[in-house]
């Protein structure tokens, strides 16, 4: 009898279990990582959930399909199809829930808690609608008038407004019972008069006044060259006060501090722009040939002695004074002193309720209300621009502002010139566009990858609205009229610099991007990432805007001259040069090189006499020299390198790293960069000492938005590459 042969199963062998210590990935991924299709590192919470600050949890039920070996019956085809449909439905429901309530846990207890909260909310809403007989006491803000120039503001939830509400309620109850005597009136506004200084300090300020004809000259210089697209005081009232303080010999009091400081700072700013009236160009003047710097500094120093009294008085004139203090220090210390002074102007304006709309029945003249509104929007716009462009927080949220926009009043129009109101309004709108773009760009940096497409589309919509709005501005007299002999030529050039620098700001993060590298020949099948069309648009806008800024500065230089203390001109030229250097690092062209040469010559003329500006120009010069060495090195190494030894390559790299040459030769002359400012030699400019260890902080302005897994390099001709048809990045024009 033959014994039965042993049957050998030739199938897939069971895979041995890998110990947990040797695993490269988690045995089981958490639900958030599975939903985002990310690699889970294991642990509770896992690394990715900690990084993105989300709830890390695991499914307690094993969702793996049962097999024949498990001993459990396999689902029938109809049952299996139903289970798959149920699973797909759950996934879609989870997406809907996350859209409305954010990243939340989907375990039973969390869902039950969320459902209970929604149910209670509906019950409360139903209760509010059915029990309408229960009145909720209103607690509106109040602006109480102390004088024509001083008011007291109390917010909706302040203690003062609540006490006023109780007073009205008690008076109402007293009227109902026939009580004759109402609530005793009490003084609710305390002023720290004990902290005010004596009037001697203010009276001594008259000794710093220049002669009357010099004061008129400095005032005209301020109005013509410094006021440009903002509002600092009513010219008619200013000239009345000027005549009063020059002719009246009465003893001055603490209440004169506001106008005294306004006069002193107007004269000080006038000394900064007095050279613009000279016959020779301002760019040809040296530091020694420009008078008035020391005089303006002395006027500023004495005006600073009045700051404690200005804060104590807290009037409309106080807001004017702090605005002018900010204007004087704007080109000297923008992110420091100027930001502080504009912040003080904002605080004084809030104390007077200038950020809110005055209620009807206040019996305040329309001219005073309009001056309050214009001063508020000047302070808010200037502080917001500094905060956005220099990384400082703004003082007031837009949701807390309901002050009306400036309107044209015949009583406030200048006597012998046109009003700058259209330019002023346009500057406010440009600042609002800049603020909105800044918020979207912050969201691009901090939100997760799935939301970045949404914010890029929002940025595209903002850019489209900005361009359309700019094209709708008037082209005669105001805004876009660039006729050199026009009434508002310099103001209009400054307004377009605001516009072009906004475009540069929106496209700057995408110039140098941390995109993924190009696929290599060794990996031809690796997927290539699609460059969003809006990224190409913003890059192109930033490039053309940078070139346009240099053209505008050259136009000013050839017509009315560049102002050596104009922050708008200096900052516009600086931002444009940095953007052009960044573009040249990706794709060097002859146009970029020639524009850089032109811009470097212009910015050296603007920074004459300002130590802070000269140091910033030195940084830009160091960047430009490093860029030239980089491209010179690239051009040399692009030739046949068969005979080049490793030591030769090391020497070339060492030249770039050290910032100086290994020998006495200079293969790259700096003549094409332009002349140095003044008589300063090349050695006075700090050398560029390495690409990694001490790269200048200015390149932080070009920091790429992290998390964009698209190749955003400019290695190809991105000016002419259209987006593929049907791409998900094609911008919807209806946005």
* Cα-based distances in Å from 722 to 227, 517, 535: 44, 21, 12
Q: What DSSP designation does 55 have?
A: -
* Residue 33: pLDDT over 90: no
Q: What DSSP designation does 335 have?
A: I
Query: What local confidence, expressed as pLDDT, does residue 82 receive?
Result: 59
pLDDT band per the 50, 70, 90 thresholds, residue 68:
very low
Top pLDDT among 361 and 550 is at 550
Concatenated DSSP letters of 555-577: HHHHTT---TT-HHHHHHHHHHH
Q: Which residues contact 186 (CB under 8 A, 6 or more apart)?
A: none
Q: How far apart are CA 690 and CA 700, in angstroms?
A: 16
Q: What is the pLDDT of residues 424-449, one digit of tens each?
A: 999 999 999 999 999 998 888 877 66
Q: How far apart are CA 692 and CA 656, in angstroms?
A: 11
Q: Which residues contact 569 (CB under 8 A, 6 or more apart)?
A: 494, 497, 553, 556, 562, 563, 606
**Highest mean pLDDT range out of 93-107, 149-163, 715-729?**
149-163
Is 41 exposed, middle or buried (CB count within 10 Å of its CB: 0-12, 13-18, 19+)? middle
* Residue 588: pLDDT over 70: yes
Q: What is the pLDDT of residues 35-51, one digit of tens each?
A: 877 888 777 788 788 77
Which candidate, 703, 708, 707, places its Cα nearest to that of 509?
703
Q: How far apart are CA 711 and CA 694, in angstroms?
A: 26
- Phi then psi for residue 248, to 5 deg, are -90, 130
Q: What DSSP designation does 334 have?
A: I
pLDDT band per the 50, 70, 90 thresholds, residue 2:
very low
Q: Is the pTM of this model over 0.75?
A: no
Q: How far apart are CA 665 and CA 710, in angstroms?
A: 42
* Residue 508: pLDDT over 70: yes
Q: How far apart are CA 327 and CA 304, in angstroms?
A: 14
Q: What is the pLDDT of residues 75-116, one digit of tens each?
A: 445 445 556 666 778 888 887 887 777 667 777 877 877 787
The helix/strand/coil state of 387 is: helix
Q: What is the pLDDT of residues 630-641, one digit of tens each?
A: 766 555 555 544
User: Using an 8 Å Cβ cutoff, are 230 and 423 in contact?
Assistant: no
Q: Is the peptide bond before 45 cis (omega within 30 degrees of 0)?
A: yes
Query: What local confidence, expressed as pLDDT, does residue 193 receive?
Result: 65
Q: Could you identify the residue written with the tokens 């020059």?
A: 246
Count CB atoms within 10 A of the CB of residue 450: 10
Top pLDDT among 77 and 121 is at 121
Q: Which of 174-188, 290-304, 478-492 has the lowest mean pLDDT?
A: 174-188
Measured in Å, how far apart are the chain's first and last C-alpha atoms?
A: 87
Q: How far apart are CA 601 and CA 606, in angstroms?
A: 9
Sign of CA dihedral 627, 628, 630, 634: positive
Q: How far apart are CA 349 and CA 127, in angstroms?
A: 41
* Residue 360: pLDDT over 60: yes
Average pLDDT (659-677) is 41
Per-residue H/E/C for 529-554: CCCCHHHHHHHHHHHHHHHHHHHHHH
Which candidate, 493, 501, 500, 495, places its Cα nearest to that of 388?
501
Helix (H) or strand (E) holding 500: helix 489-507
Q: How far apart are CA 522 and CA 448, in angstroms?
A: 31
Mean pLDDT estimate for the chain: 75
Q: What is the pLDDT of residues 323-349, one digit of tens each?
A: 999 999 998 888 899 999 999 999 999
User: Using an 8 Å Cβ cutoff, are 391 and 342 in contact?
Assistant: no
| Percent over 70 (pLDDT), the chain | 66
Q: Which residues contact 273 (CB under 8 A, 6 or more apart)?
A: 221, 222, 224, 225, 226, 563, 565
Which candidate, 369, 256, 257, 351, places its Cα nearest to that of 302?
257
Count CB atoms within 10 A of the CB of residue 201: 17
- Phi then psi for residue 99, to 5 deg, are -65, -40
Q: Which of 102-106, 267-271, 652-656, 669-673 has the lowest mean pLDDT?
A: 669-673
- C-alpha gyration radius of the chain: 34
Sign of CA dihedral 709, 715, 716, 718: positive
- Bridge partners (DSSP) of residue 144 are 152
Query: What local confidence, expressed as pLDDT, does residue 18 receive?
Result: 62
* Residue 60: pLDDT over 80: no
Q: Which of 108-122, 164-178, 467-481, 712-726 has the lowest mean pLDDT?
A: 712-726
pLDDT band per the 50, 70, 90 thresholds, residue 233:
very high
Which candidate, 547, 696, 561, 672, places its Cα nearest to that of 615?
696
Q: What share of the chain is helix, strand, coil (3-state, %, to 5)?
A: 55, 0, 40
* Residue 128: pLDDT over 80: no
* Residue 477: pLDDT over 70: yes
Tell me the HSE value of 200 on the side-chain side, using a 13 A CA sphere: 1
Query: What local confidence, expressed as pLDDT, does residue 669 receive?
Result: 40
* Residue 206: pLDDT over 90: no
Q: What is the pLDDT of residues 514-541, one digit of tens each?
A: 433 343 343 444 444 455 788 889 999 9
Top pLDDT among 77 and 264 is at 264
Q: How far apart are CA 527 and CA 164, in angstroms?
A: 68
């Amino acid at each position: 009898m033959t014994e039965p042969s042993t049957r050998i199963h030739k199938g897939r062998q069971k895979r041995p279990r890998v110990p947990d210590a040797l695993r490269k990935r988690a045995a089981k991924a958490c639900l958030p990582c599975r939903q985002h299709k990310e690699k889970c590192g294991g642990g509770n919470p896992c690394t990715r959930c900690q990084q993105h600050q989300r709830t890390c949890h695991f499914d307690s039920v094993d969702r793996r399909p049962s097999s024949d070996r498990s001993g459990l019956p396999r689902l029938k085809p109809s049952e299996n199809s139903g289970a798959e449909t149920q699973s797909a439905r759950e996934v879609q429901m989870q997406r809907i829930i996350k859209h409305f309530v954010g990243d939340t846990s989907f375990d039973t207890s969390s869902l039950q808690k969320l459902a209970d909260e929604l149910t209670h909310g509906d019950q409360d809403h139903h209760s509010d609608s059915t029990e309408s007989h229960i009145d909720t006491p209103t607690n509106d803000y109040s602006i109480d008038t102390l004088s024509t120039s001083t008011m007291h503001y109390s917010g909706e939830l302040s203690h003062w407004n609540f006490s006023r509400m109780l007073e009205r309620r008690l008076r109402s109850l007293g009227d109902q019972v026939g009580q004759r005597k109402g609530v005793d009136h009490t003084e609710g506004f305390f002023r720290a008069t004990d902290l005010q200084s004596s009037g001697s300090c203010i009276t001594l300020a008259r000794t710093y006044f220049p002669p009357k004809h010099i004061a008129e000259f400095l005032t005209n210089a301020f109005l013509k060259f410094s006021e440009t697209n903002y509002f600092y005081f009513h010219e008619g009232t200013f000239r009345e006060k000027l005549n009063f303080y020059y002719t009246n010999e009465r003893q001055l009091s603490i209440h004169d501090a506001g106008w005294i400081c306004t006069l002193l700072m107007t004269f000080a700013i006038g000394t900064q722009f007095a050279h613009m009236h000279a016959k020779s160009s301002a760019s040809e003047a040296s530091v020694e040939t420009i008078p008035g710097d020391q005089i303006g500094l002395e006027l500023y120093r004495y005006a600073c002695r009045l700051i404690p009294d200005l804060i104590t008085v807290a009037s409309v004139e106080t807001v004017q004074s702090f605005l002018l203090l900010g204007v004087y220090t704007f080109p000297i210390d923008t992110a420091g002193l100027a930001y502080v002074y504009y912040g003080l102007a904002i605080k004084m304006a809030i104390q007077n309720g200038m950020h809110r709309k005055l209620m009807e029945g206040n019996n305040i003249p329309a001219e005073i209300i309009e001056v309050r509104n214009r001063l508020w929007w000047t302070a808010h716009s200037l502080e917001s621009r500094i905060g956005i462009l220099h990384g400082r927080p703004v003082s007031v949220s837009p949701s807390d502002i309901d002050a009306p926009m400036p309107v044209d009043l015949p009583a406030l129009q200048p006597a012998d010139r046109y009003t700058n109101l259209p330019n002023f309004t346009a500057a406010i709108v440009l600042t609002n566009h800049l603020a909105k773009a800044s918020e979207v760009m912050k969201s691009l940096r901090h939100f997760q990858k799935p939301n970045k497409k949404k914010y890029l589309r929002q940025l595209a919509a903002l850019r489209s609205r900005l361009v359309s709005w700019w094209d709708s501005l008037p082209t005669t007299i105001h805004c876009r009229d660039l006729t050199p002999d026009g009434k508002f030529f310099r103001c209009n050039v400054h307004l377009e610099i605001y516009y072009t620098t906004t475009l540069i700001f929106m496209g700057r993060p995408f110039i140098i991007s941390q995109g993924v590298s190009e696929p290599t020949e060794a990996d031809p099948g690796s997927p290539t990432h699609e460059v969003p069309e809006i990224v190409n648009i913003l890059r192109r806008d930033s490039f053309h805007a940078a070139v346009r800024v240099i053209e505008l500065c050259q136009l000013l230089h050839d017509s009315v001259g560049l102002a050596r203390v104009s922050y708008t001109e200096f900052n516009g030229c600086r931002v444009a040069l940095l953007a052009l250097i960044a573009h040249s690092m990706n794709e060097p062209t002859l146009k970029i090189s020639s524009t850089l040469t032109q811009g470097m010559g212009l910015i050296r003329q603007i920074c004459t006499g300002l130590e802070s500006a000269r140091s910033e120009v030195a940084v830009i010069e160091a960047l430009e020299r490093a860029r030239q060495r980089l491209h010179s090195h690239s051009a040399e190494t692009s030739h046949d390198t068969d005979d080049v030894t490793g030591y030769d390559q090391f020497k070339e790299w060492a030249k770039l790293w050290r910032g100086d040459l290994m020998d006495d030769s200079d293969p790259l002359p700096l003549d094409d960069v332009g002349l140095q400012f003044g008589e300063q030699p090349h050695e006075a400019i700090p050398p560029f000492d390495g690409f990694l260890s001490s790269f200048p902080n200015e390149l932080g302005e070009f920091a790429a938005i992290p998390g964009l897994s698209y190749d955003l390099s400019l290695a190809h001709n991105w000016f002419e590459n259209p987006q593929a048809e049907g791409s998900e990045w094609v911008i919807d024009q209806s946005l």
